[in-house]
Each structure stands twice: as C-alpha cells, then as structure tokens.
Structure 1
C-alpha cells in the first residue's frame, strides 16, 4: 500500500483527465448539499475528514459510473487509472464544488458559498448552498482556483480590507490543504474485492454482483439485466425468492463455472467466459429447481430445508442451451437419496460451505459417469425422532417432515378429498398444518406443550377440517369422517396415521405414528 497527499487542484485535474474514476460496483452519490457544505467547513477549519482509497491499475474496467453529475473523459491508454474504492462522497463533493470546466448532466447543483461576515464559529458551519446568494456576504468557492474569476469576485470588496483578508485566507487554506490518499496497486481483482468488502463492512456489504458486472459488461451483455431476466423466469416457476437471493445465485454460478461455491472465485474469471457461460448457469439453476418441483414436490425456496441444496444440484443440470441432461434410473435414485439423507441428517446445518463443496465434487463425478459417493451419508433418526422434535415451520427438520407428508399425497381426514398441496405449499404458513390430537383437548389432559407440538402430532389438514375437529377428542371427530372402513384406511395411510389415533390414547398414538413415520423416512433414505 502506498500513501500520497493530493492537493485539491491536483485531485481536480486528475479527475478532469479521466485518471480518477468511479467503478461501477460503487453505490450512487447520496450526499445532500448541506452535507457537502459541512465537508467544506471541515476542510476550512482543518478538522479531520478522512483519507481516500484508490486502486491504481492499467487493467481498465469495461464500465464505470459518472462522478456525481459529471460524465468523465477517457484517460489516455498509456495512463494508469485510479479507481475510487473509498471516499466517493468526498471526492465527488470536492470536484463538484471546485471544477469549472465540465457541464453537469441533469439538474445543476446550487453553488456552495462562504459566509464572509460571520464570526468563525467552531460549531456552526460557515458554508452553505445558496440558490439566490447575497453577494455582499456570500463568497463562491468555485472561483478559488480560477485566478480571473477570483479577482472578479473580490473586486467588489476593494474598499473592505478586512473582508479581502478573510477571502485571501479562505483561498490559502483550500490551496494549501492536502488530502491523504492510500493507493492499492494490484492487478488481482480478488484482492480488490476483499479490500472493498472490508472498508464497507460497517455499512453495506460488498455487492459481488455489482463488482462482477464491472468485469463482464459489454454493449451486448449486462450481468445485472441477465439476473433480472433470470428472476422473472424463476418467478414463473414459483421460486421468486431465489431471484431475490443474489448470494445464492452467485454461489450456484461459481459452483458451475469454477467448481467452488464461493462467489469470490468468480472475480478471477475472464469476463468473456462469464458472459458466454451465463446460459449454462441459467440452465443449471432452472434444471435443479425443476427437479425439486416435479420429483420432490418442493414448491418454493421457503419449502426447501436448506437453500444450499440448490447449489450442487445446479452443477448437475448445468448444460449449454439445446443440450438436455439425461440420466439413468439409478442416478435418479442416488439424487433422491442424497436429498433425503441431507435433509434428515441436517448435515448442512454446520459447515455448509464444506458440505456444499463435497457435494459439488460428488455431483460432478456422477454427471461424468464416474464413481460417486454422493449418497454416502450417515443418517440415524432413532425410534422417537418424530415425537422428540417440535414442529417449527422455519426449521429444516420440520420442512423435511412436511415434504415427506406432501409426497404421500395426503387426503382430508373428514371428506377423503385430495389435499391441494400446491396451494398448501404456496401459502406455507402455520395455518396449513394442524394437530391430530387437538391442542385444547391435550392441554385439558395436562400434556406439556413440547409434547403437544411434536412432529408426530401434525398432519396436513385443511383449515375447514381443523375448525370442525377443534377441541374434540379423536373418537368424537371420527364420526364426522365419511367413507367406509377400506376407504378410510387409505385416507389414514395417505396421512401416515395409525388407526389408534381414534382410541384417544395419546401415548399409544405417538408410539404408533412414530413407527409409521420412521418407516416412511427410512424408505426415502434407502430407496430415494
């Protein structure tokens, strides 16, 4: 890291030459005019106002931003460029106040003026933006570095030596001030990404998508637009949340293009490769989502026990446009076993990055026809797994349990009609899942809440059915159920429920349902 001190004149000249630029991954200029005036006051009173951080490189970005209201000229090819990593608000303010050559785009700023008749108050600012200045007390800062305009502006005070001394002192202070600048010189983009992230850690995190878009942009491809289009497609699939989760899409893209799900790895790629490979990334993500929807009945990201499961599966389905991914029945079973074992073992709960990397490598081997240990995942649920875990809609355990119920094609206990699981999953709220032994009935029998709310006591029951059975013991609401014994056995089977539900013996019911649920889970774990 190199340290330099820039005068305001030098900084303004370098911006005018196009040597100092705002990279496209920076956010927009957001200071208001009063904030700019306070910066001028800090400079004048020699208060600390922070250093700037530049990245010096000969490797030009394909796009950059305007500096505030000004479109900057291109720098000569042989010149290195200084990209502003920290201090955009300050450098834009300084340039906008003092430059006199470029015309702003859009609305013109009001000028910043120095109050030449005010006492030097250490608290109150001596500077302010003025639309209609009183030139007997407001002196424009824009003329301080232009000798002709400076002399014209001071002529009116020829008979006021005290004011002239104040104005000359003003000019001297701004001419003499030096602005500390740290300069990072590197051609390694990943280093720039890390530095930019760390200096923004207390504000907004690094937007890797913005940074990557700077590497990849050309007139025919804008990565931001490509992500927007992908989001629209995902919304049609019912997975709009994925489109909103930029980090997840970037992890998928990195896994597909680099074999590593860390988005930082994308920064090191050639921009042309990222542009040309984006259809492959898109197809991988859409293919994985299609598999989740059609083969596992996952209706949206909020239904998926772990969002990270999307990343390795996207690697498997990533192919260029026009090329379908074909796989054998055994591969299909392996993928399903991987899914269920990953969900029920909760292996993505801790060290998700390490787990994802293991699965990315295994999926790559599976896709290439090599021996893969993708589904080699130890899963030991235990006999009371479903009665010892509490129903909590946000937990991975509960989401896995719900998907298992949904995949059985549940029917209404009262009417026998098929439950509209698509509607249930689209709504996906607590109101779609109800107690088989009503909560009020169990509380009247002094059953603890954790036991009342265990997974084994829940099923997919419509709100209408739930209102009818509310507070009733199971033997009472059994009389509301339609259909003969054989049909009712099929209804119970679809809900993974034992007939002992209607004996009103909660302990026996939990033991019986635990057994049924465990058999179903084991079937998924072993057969996919």
Structure 2
C-alpha cells in the first residue's frame, strides 16, 4: 500500500504527466450527478474507494487522455504510473478541482461544474453537492468547488463572503484540502502480470479486453490491430462469418497459435507487438483459409452451425502463409483434416481442455510442414446414445454436429423432392428449417416417449412450408404428399439418412433403425 495522495498531489502528478491512462482502459463515462455524489462522499468522510497504479519504466505506445483533458508529456527520466483501477474517480476529482488544463477541442467538461449548496441542511443521506448550469447558480448560496485549489479565486471569494457562511466555507476548505485518497501501487514491466491484475480487479465489472492490451503494445503509425480486425470482420460478412471478425478472443488465439504455436491466454499477452504487425498478412490468410475450408467441406456457412468455432484456430495455422496465393492441402492432408474435424465434433474434443486444442495446433503444423504427425489420432468411439439422448437444440454441440452430418448427405425436400438450399438455411441456422420425421404433435397425441421424440434421431432438414403441409400427419399419411415415384421417395429418405421405409408408423422401430443409420454415417465420416 503506497502513501495516500492529497487531492493537490493527485492534480500535480497528472499535470506533470507522471500519472496517465493506458489505452486498454475504457474512457470516462461518469455523468455529472455521479461526480457530485463522489464529492459528497469525500466531504462526509465516507469510503469512496482506492486508486490502483501500475508503475513502469516503459511508456505504452498508445494512451487515453484523462476524460476531456489531453495529458502533458512525462519526463522520460522518471517512471510512469498508469491508472489500472479508479480512473473514473481520479478523472472526476481532477476535473472538478484543477485549473491548469483546458479540455481538448470538442470535448465536454461541463460536468466539472459542481457546487456546494451552502443553504442545504446537513444530512447523512441527501447530498449537498450538485451539478448546476450557469443559469441555475445562485452566487449567495452555491459555492463552486473549482476555486478551492485556485488561491487567487478563493481569496477573491472570501472578500465577498458573508460572515454567516464563513464556518461552512472553512469546513469545506479544510475537508477537501486534507482529504486523502487511498492508493496502491505495483511496479512491473511484465505484461502478463498487468493483464492478470487488470482482469482480477475488473472481474465484477468490465472484463479484461486483451485486444486493447495487445493493441496498445503492437500499435504503430501504420498499424492498428483493432482496425485490422474490423476490416477482417467486414471482409468476412458476405460469407456469413462477420461474427468471427468481432470475436476478439478467437482472433487473438489465432494470432498466438500462428506466431507461437500456443493459443493460451498467457501466450497472447506475451506476443511481440512487432511480430503481430509483421505477420498479420499471414494471420489474415490463415483465418480466411480456415473459413473457406469449413464452408467448402462442411457446409458451415456461419459460426451458428459450427460445433466449435475454436476449430478455426488450428485450421488457421495450417492455412497461414506469406505467399500471395492461398495454401491448398494435398489429397492426404485434405482427408486428414476432414477426418480430424469430424472426430473433434463427435467427441466434443474442445469442450474439455485447452491442452487438446494446443495439441492439435502442434500436430497440424507438423502435417503442414510434411513431418510425422498424429492429427486426429485420439479415441472417437460413438454409439446410438449420441442421437437418442441428445435433445435437438441449436445451442448444443451435438445438435450442430448432427446438422452438419445431415448436410453432408445433400438433403432433399420431403414434399417436392428438390435439393435444399443449404447456404441460406445454414447461414441463419433457423430452427424452423429442421423438423421431426415423426411429427411432435402426433407423438404427443399417442403418448410417446417425448425424450426420444425430441432427440436428434427424430430430426431432419425440412423446409417450413413442407413441414406445414405435413403438420401432425403420421408417415403413412404424408407419404401420399411425397412424389409418386417410389425410387424418388427412397432417394429422399437416403439423403435424409433415414430408413427407406418409415411409413409403418412404428415410432420405436423407426428410432432404432434410424439411430443405426446415423451411427454408421458418423463412423464413415470419422474413418
């Protein structure tokens, strides 16, 4: 715990450029009422929180200004204190009492006009401080806090002061000039330590924004990591993957995996800013190549249907290149990548430990470089319970895996027999485009086991118009709505990974037979 600061000390440190705001902090967001409330707490001696400073010898390449005030340069011979916690309070105190800095052009500092109501009764609950516009100020009643640390202005006010309020003004002056602000300071040039501290102090508030941290350490006049990610999001939008460009955690893990072969948070925060800049085109090509591979080979037209969007991380390592032309896997690499992804999806590999993702990063790089590798060589047993005990819900990994597997079979419309436009269906991934083979309403009317009725084993691609046509009809009845050609009906059911005879209306038999087909299909994909 460092020595507490008097308000005047805080002002002096800020004006001298010694105390600064790191760019990974959010900006000043308090309104005038909250600032006035802080003044009331200080005046009444209530706890109002401490300030946490990070002391370092190395200045950040990008910083924020303090609210509306642009901070002076710091003497390079002295260390810098960056405010990690308490920025809103420090900015409020400085803004109300300082008279050395003017706001930057276009910045609003009207919130600093806080007044003490000399006529208000002393009350433990109600505040005696308020923000007032010029038209609301009554000079005989409202004392401007901004003159307390401005000796000429304060002396001038004393000359006009009525004796009846002398005691109140004296108390006001003594209170704020002797008030102490609790301060904690820790000194380090270890970025990982700063990130950990920042995360912990903000765990109940604004979460650590690692992108802003890394942006501050990688910034140059011609490179801004946040802008690069924004541009990437724009480029990905037409392909249904705009949210990848906005998922900063995913993108940062791609950066770490490509540069360092490790996607852990500690690796991210220790990335070299210069290397991120120099290799960003390689990173960009890796991410774009990974998404193109998923779209082409898995009909994954958005992250909404990806069981694990994190598969983009190891895939980006494979496709990352410095060449103008994108990387293309050879036939062996192609089949290995596809098999590995299906095994990863069906075994829920990335729902367990980060170590497994990092293992795949290492193995995929070995494969890319032509070395011996073990990509996809992990246990991948599967039985019917995957399909019978998993309820259909677009939020779950198993459901998304089931959808991608059905998509790989090129599904056809049950009623019209035509191909289903997977691009539009899987981009929005709307539940209304997936329906029960044995209709839910039918099963409920029959008192069937609804756990099985709502399981993956009873779901297929079915456009909403066709589903409305089928409604609650049993298969033996909606068969009459399907094409007259029996071979075409069999083809529709084969493409839905369904038994070719579902028209016996025996739901339990159907579930058993379809589950066997689904398991067989899944195992084929994983071989």
TM-score, normalised via structure 2 length:
0.95
1:235 is matched with 237
Greater CA drift, 422-431 or 84-93: 422-431
1:39 is matched with 38
- Do the aligned residues in 1 keep the contact of 2:54 with 2:187 (CA within 8 Å)? yes
1:272 is matched with 274
SS for the counterpart of 1:488 is: helix
CA shift in 2, pair 1:384/1:25, >3 Å: closer
Q: Structure 1 unaligned runs (5+)?
A: none
Question: How far, CA to CA, are the matches of 2:109 and 2:344 in structure 1?
Answer: 58
Q: Structure 2 unaligned runs (5+)?
A: none
2:345 is matched with 343
CA shift in 2, pair 1:497/1:245, >3 Å: same
Task: Please state if 1:134 is matched with 2:147.
Answer: no
Question: How far, CA to CA, are the matches of 1:279 and 1:320 in structure 2?
Answer: 7
- Do the aligned residues in 1 keep the contact of 2:229 with 2:246 (CA within 8 Å)? no
2:26 is matched with 27
Task: Please state if 1:146 is matched with 2:147.
Answer: no
1:282 is matched with 284
1:10 is matched with 9
- Do the aligned residues in 1 keep the contact of 2:285 with 2:326 (CA within 8 Å)? no
Shift of 1:422: 1.3
Greater CA drift, 236-245 or 203-212: 236-245
TM-score, normalised via structure 1 length:
0.95
SS for the counterpart of 2:501 is: helix
SS for the counterpart of 2:4 is: strand
CA shift in 2, pair 1:463/1:166, >3 Å: closer
Shift of 1:196: 0.8
Superposition pairs of residues 334-413 of structure 1, within 5 angstroms: 334-351=336-353, 353-383=354-384, 385-413=386-414
1:326 is matched with 328
- Do the aligned residues in 1 keep the contact of 2:55 with 2:79 (CA within 8 Å)? yes
Paired residues, what number? 522
SS for the counterpart of 2:375 is: coil
SS for the counterpart of 2:460 is: strand
Greater CA drift, 337-346 or 272-281: 272-281
Question: How far, CA to CA, are the matches of 1:85 and 1:270 in structure 2?
Answer: 22
1:300 is matched with 302
Shift of 1:86: 0.7
Shift of 1:483: 4.7
Shift of 1:385: 4.1
Shift of 1:58: 1.2
Question: How far, CA to CA, are the matches of 2:515 and 2:9 in structure 1?
Answer: 76
Greater CA drift, 395-404 or 455-464: 455-464
Listed one character per residue, the Cα deviations across residues 503-526 of structure 1 (whole Å, up to 9, x for unaligned) are 223233223222222221111010
Q: Pairwise CA RMSD of aligned residues?
A: 1.8
Question: How far, CA to CA, are the matches of 1:80 and 1:140 in structure 2?
Answer: 34
Superposition pairs of residues 115-130 of structure 1, within 5 angstroms: 115-130=117-132
- Do the aligned residues in 1 keep the contact of 2:494 with 2:500 (CA within 8 Å)? no
Superposition pairs of residues 220-259 of structure 1, within 5 angstroms: 220-259=222-261
Greater CA drift, 336-345 or 133-142: 133-142
CA shift in 2, pair 1:477/1:42, >3 Å: closer
Shift of 1:333: 0.8
Greater CA drift, 424-433 or 479-488: 479-488
Shift of 1:195: 0.6
Moved over 4 A (4+): none
- Do the aligned residues in 2 keep the contact of 1:4 with 1:183 (CA within 8 Å)? no
Counterpart selection for 1:205 from 204, 207, 210: 207
Greater CA drift, 121-130 or 415-424: 121-130
Shift of 1:383: 4.6
Question: How far, CA to CA, are the matches of 2:86 and 2:314 in structure 1?
Answer: 39
